[in-house]
Amino acid sequence: MKLSQYFWYDFKDIKDDEGIVSYNYSLRGGFIKKLVSGIYLWNPAGLRVLKKIEQIVREEMDESGAQECLLSCIQPAELWVQSGRYEDYGEEMLRIQDRHKKQMLFGPTHEEVMTNLFSHYVKSYKGLPLNLYQIQWKFRDERRPRFGLMRGREFLMKDAYSFDIDHEGAVKSYNDMYKAYFKIFKRLNLQAIAVRADTGPIGGDLSHEFQVFAKNGESTTYYDQKLVDYINQENFDIDIAKSFYAMADDMHDESKVPSGVEVKSSKAIEIGHLFNFDTKYSVPLKANVQHKDGSNLPVYMGSYGIGVSRLFAAIIEASHDERGIIWPESVAPFKYAILDGIGLIKNDDSFYQKLKEKNIDFIYDDKDDNLSEKFRKWDLFGIPYQIIIGNKYKNEGLIEIKSRKTGEGKLMTLGDFIQSAS
Amino acid sequence: MKLSQYFWYDFKDIKDDEGIVSYNYSLRGGFIKKLVSGIYLWNPAGLRVLKKIEQIVREEMDESGAQECLLSCIQPAELWVQSGRYEDYGEEMLRIQDRHKKQMLFGPTHEEVMTNLFSHYVKSYKGLPLNLYQIQWKFRDERRPRFGLMRGREFLMKDAYSFDIDHEGAVKSYNDMYKAYFKIFKRLNLQAIAVRADTGPIGGDLSHEFQVFAKNGESTTYYDQKLVDYINQENFDIDIAKSFYAMADDMHDESKVPSGVEVKSSKAIEIGHLFNFDTKYSVPLKANVQHKDGSNLPVYMGSYGIGVSRLFAAIIEASHDERGIIWPESVAPFKYAILDGIGLIKNDDSFYQKLKEKNIDFIYDDKDDNLSEKFRKWDLFGIPYQIIIGNKYKNEGLIEIKSRKTGEGKLMTLGDFIQSAS
């Protein structure tokens, strides 16, 4: 890809970055554009990152045995009336009346619809256990959308729903998600912890929030530091991990901290949430399954969310410096940015063509800026490796491969780079 | 994938198939479920097909030089007021009021928003030509949603928008899409033709619809049969293709048929649409670009849609028999279905594991049904190849690889199949 032909512009004239660095860099770096309050448009480079995040989430969900489906954005109000949540949800729900005066809504979550889908097909224990997930845009009409993608109104979410024969099975499904979430966040280079959380409008009595520490986080989290060390082991035991003191804001109670435990508090960003609510939805929505003994009983459920578009912002919060974003390789829009300060490639296209032939994930900055302007831009954009073609090439035939993260450079010939790059 | 663990159920109790085979088979085959009128849920097997269609569209759009971005579902009404379309669009537009009493809508199309995005960044001829596309869910509040996915309310669309310096450039962009669309439909095994069409609420004066012939089509199309032969050549000339007589319903005029041309008429399904409308949106939305000579003038635009979820139905209409769907390999949910009538794999998992290791795209029907029930089901589901393990295996050690399309079978050993399958 040549930058001169690519729709990617850094944007200096930012009127309001809502006071946080991830939003500032997302706008200045031309990854997203604000349409109206809490609603964003994804430019090609931003979408590349979003899709890589989405794909990592998908792969780990599939690996856990969950199956992807896709529900609609627009839902009928009647399912929510049936579950008893229609009035409860309040003004955050975007309520819509269609041309036939039917009450509809833009789904803020999908417990009702997924339960409806499940019960249409599955009538027997033979169809269990089951975990269905989707990656779909949701809408929550926040009173005051803020912090950019952190608390937008239209946002991309991975939401999974498990169906089990009994509470024990539901807890196993819950634990499978607990494990899968840590794998996802590790691949995204995020240090996450799971803390006990209030269940809010979703309901149930077992719930964990996944948090990443960030000084711009909206939440405060209280936890035993030993938990962080424990979960960073390759294979940890979920029950042991759950037994550490780790609480979301509203669950923390100083008087309940076990003696000898030193509780730390940190600002954090919520990036995932697990809920077990057993039969809360299956009873009103009549999602029963026949058991082996012939009895016909409500199915046991849980739901499991990850804010995919919020992760975009959380990754920036966790990985940046004063010059811009430092994308982890796993989600970077491109792995290499080629900064040609001497017009080498402009005069000889064969280098560009060779990189393309090798399917190298790169973008070539062929704009007429000088190298220092290019450094400013690519440090902001956060591409992991800058391939610098400057005076060293003129004098010694060497290019520099510079890591955005460490700032360290490595000199080599063009030929060696083409050979070794992947 | 083992069918007993997969959320895929054929469904015999179809109350209303809206009179067309694609919807009947989509429901009976458990690919989608109707939520409410014109709104559907995608089960895992249906989503696999939808994503393969989407990916083919994406690859050919990328190949054409277009760049993928992603716009929001919810848009502010004010952009439509500015373009002059807010009142025109009528009741098909799903109008929404948010909690702050702002007028919003669920995008039925994105000319306004894309123009807004473009003009935020591109101010100069240097950023042209440009073609930005997205694959996103749209909503049109049809008075009478019908024919299942053919005319749903919430539907998946690929919509591209081109930006050029002048009319000549805009026509070149238009022609690039014309060419790309034929490539897309060929990969989907659809015989499409492009016919002159009315521009309707999108506007402009140059427009083609892409149609596939289908006896359940909603449109009637009038065309010179020689056109079909011409466009089926490997490399055809767009200007020659455009010169044949080929008209959508509302453009056909018997008196304007050139002498000597024999016009055929066929029922057809519209699957794509090209519009050139030059400065219709850029003028009211003030999307100007600076030219080389310093003048600052409205950019020239076109828009180009493909109904991605409608293609799901159109492919079924074009490829089925009385027993069910016949998916083209390019979009089939799985390439192979393994119908084990003698419990071979149940007793020995190694065959299953070997296929998994080789990354073969297959599903194994491990349910307890007999072979004739399995044939009924897999003929309905439309998987291209059925791998039949039955008496021939017991007696001669041979399995049968049967083509869903031709019905022809080929006998081979399990080992040879594993060797040769891809």
Closest residue in B to A77 (Cα–Cα) = B36
- Using the beta-carbon criterion (under 8 Å), do B106 and A106 form an inter-chain contact? yes
- Using the beta-carbon criterion (under 8 Å), do A33 and B106 form an inter-chain contact? no
What is d(CA A228, CA A264) in angstroms, rounded to the nearest whole number? Answer: 11
Task: Select from A39, A89, A116 the residue whose CB has the most chain B CBs within 10 Å, as the one to mutate to test that interface.
Answer: A39
Work out the minimum CA distance from B74 to partner chain A, whole angstroms.
8
- Using the beta-carbon criterion (under 8 Å), do B9 and A121 form an inter-chain contact? yes
Q: Which one has a higher pLDDT value, A29 or A422?
A: A29
- Using the beta-carbon criterion (under 8 Å), do B41 and A94 form an inter-chain contact? no
- Find the CB nearest A70 among B36, B47, B130: B47
pLDDT tens, residue by residue, A309-361: 999 999 999 999 999 999 999 999 999 999 998 888 878 888 889 889 999 99
- Find the CB nearest A154 among B47, B72, B99: B72
What CA–CA distances, in Å, run from B72 to A11, A16, A98, B134, B136? 20, 20, 20, 10, 8
Which chain A residues contact residue B76 at CB under 8 A? 35-36
Strand B300-307, strand B154-164: pairing: antiparallel
Closest alpha carbon to A219 in A255, A195, A243: A195
- How much is the pLDDT for B13? 82
What is d(CA A263, CA A261) in angstroms, rounded to the nearest whole number? Answer: 6
Q: Residue B214, exposed/middle/buried by CB under 10 A (0-12, 13-18, 19+)?
A: buried
Task: Select from A120, A126, A173 the residue whose CB has the most chain B CBs within 10 Å, as the one to mutate to test that interface.
Answer: A120
Which chain A residues contact residue B120 at CB under 8 A? 11, 33
Closest residue in A to B129 (Cα–Cα) = A5
Closest residue in A to B367 (Cα–Cα) = A126
- Using the beta-carbon criterion (under 8 Å), do A70 and B76 form an inter-chain contact? no
Work out the minimum CA distance from B163 to partner chain A, whole angstroms.
12
Task: Select from B43, B51, B63, B128 the residue whose CB has the most chain A CBs within 10 Å, as the one to mutate to test that interface.
Answer: B43
Q: Quick one: CA torsion of A178, A179, A181, A182, rounded to 10 degrees?
A: 120
- Find the CB nearest A42 among B70, B94, B130: B70
**Residue A113 backbone phi and psi in degrees, to 5:** -65, -40
- Using the beta-carbon criterion (under 8 Å), do B4 and A126 form an inter-chain contact? yes
Which chain B residues contact residue A67 at CB under 8 A? 6-7, 44
SS3 A81: helix
- Using the beta-carbon criterion (under 8 Å), do B96 and A98 form an inter-chain contact? no
| Domains observed in chain B | 9-321 (3.30.930.10), 334-420 (3.40.50.800)
What is d(CA B407, CA B403) in angstroms, rounded to the nearest whole number? Answer: 5
- Using the beta-carbon criterion (under 8 Å), do B9 and A43 form an inter-chain contact? no
Closest residue in B to A94 (Cα–Cα) = B98
Task: Select from A9, A96, A110 the residue whose CB has the most chain B CBs within 10 Å, as the one to mutate to test that interface.
Answer: A96
Q: Contact A296/A290 with Cβ under 8 angstroms?
A: yes
Work out the minimum CA distance from B405 to partner chain A, whole angstroms.
27
- Using the beta-carbon criterion (under 8 Å), do A154 and B106 form an inter-chain contact? no
Which chain B residues contact residue A139 at CB under 8 A? 73-74
- How much is the pLDDT for B420? 87
Going along B16-150, which residue ranges are E strands?
32-36, 39-42, 67-68, 74-76, 94-97, 103-106, 130-139
- Find the CB nearest B113 among A41, A47, A117: A41
Q: Contact A370/A341 with Cβ under 8 angstroms?
A: yes
Provide the token pair at A15: 């009127």
pLDDT tens, residue by residue, A30-88: 999 999 999 999 999 999 999 999 999 999 999 999 999 999 999 999 999 999 999 98
Which chain A residues contact residue B39 at CB under 8 A? 72, 74-75
Beta pairing partners, A206: A276
Query: Across residues A191-195, what is the average pLDDT?
Result: 95
Which chain B residues contact residue A126 at CB under 8 A? 4
- How much is the pLDDT for A2? 93
Q: What percent of chain A has pLDDT over 70?
A: 100
What is d(CA A247, CA B289) in angstroms, rounded to the nearest whole number? Answer: 54
Closest residue in A to B66 (Cα–Cα) = A6
Work out the minimum CA distance from A35 to partner chain B, whole angstroms.
8
- How much is the pLDDT for B233? 87
Which chain A residues contact residue B98 at CB under 8 A? 94, 141
Work out the minimum CA distance from A43 to partner chain B, whole angstroms.
5
HSE value, Cβ hemisphere, 13 Å, CA-based, for B103: 10
pLDDT tens, residue by residue, A385-395: 999 999 899 89
- Using the beta-carbon criterion (under 8 Å), do B69 and A137 form an inter-chain contact? no
**Residue A3 backbone phi and psi in degrees, to 5:** -60, -35
Work out the minimum CA distance from B158 to partner chain A, whole angstroms.
15
Query: Across residues A258-272, what is the average pLDDT?
Result: 94
Q: Supply the ipTM of this predicted assembly.
A: 0.96
- B113 conformational bin, left if phi > 0, alpha if psi -120 to 50, beta if neither: alpha
Work out the minimum CA distance from A28 to partner chain B, whole angstroms.
11
Residue A17 has pLDDT above 90, yes or no: no
- Find the CB nearest B7 among A42, A75, A132: A132
Query: Across residues A223-238, what is the average pLDDT?
Result: 91
What is d(CA B44, CA B104) in angstroms, rounded to the nearest whole number? Answer: 32
- Find the CB nearest A76 among B7, B36, B117: B36
Q: pTM of the entire structure? A: 0.97
| Burial call A172-210: b when 16+ CB within 10 Å, e when fewer | ebbbbbbebbbebbbbbebebbbbbbeeeebbbebbbbb
Closest alpha carbon to B398 in B421, B414, B386: B414
Task: Select from A35, A144, A308, A368 the residue whose CB has the most chain B CBs within 10 Å, as the one to mutate to test that interface.
Answer: A35
Task: Select from B1, B31, B49, B69 the residue whose CB has the most chain A CBs within 10 Å, as the one to mutate to test that interface.
Answer: B69
Amino acid in position A74? I
- Using the beta-carbon criterion (under 8 Å), do B74 and A139 form an inter-chain contact? yes
Q: What is the pLDDT along chain B (422 residues), one digit of tens a residue?
A: 899 999 999 998 888 888 899 999 999 999 999 999 999 999 999 999 999 999 999 999 999 999 999 999 999 999 999 999 999 889 999 999 999 999 999 999 999 999 999 999 999 999 999 999 999 999 999 998 989 999 999 999 999 999 999 999 999 999 999 999 999 999 999 999 999 998 777 777 799 999 999 888 888 999 999 999 999 988 899 999 999 999 999 899 999 999 999 999 999 999 999 999 999 999 999 999 999 999 999 999 999 999 999 999 999 999 999 999 999 999 999 999 999 988 888 788 888 898 899 999 999 999 989 999 999 999 999 999 999 999 899 899 999 999 999 999 999 998 899 888 88
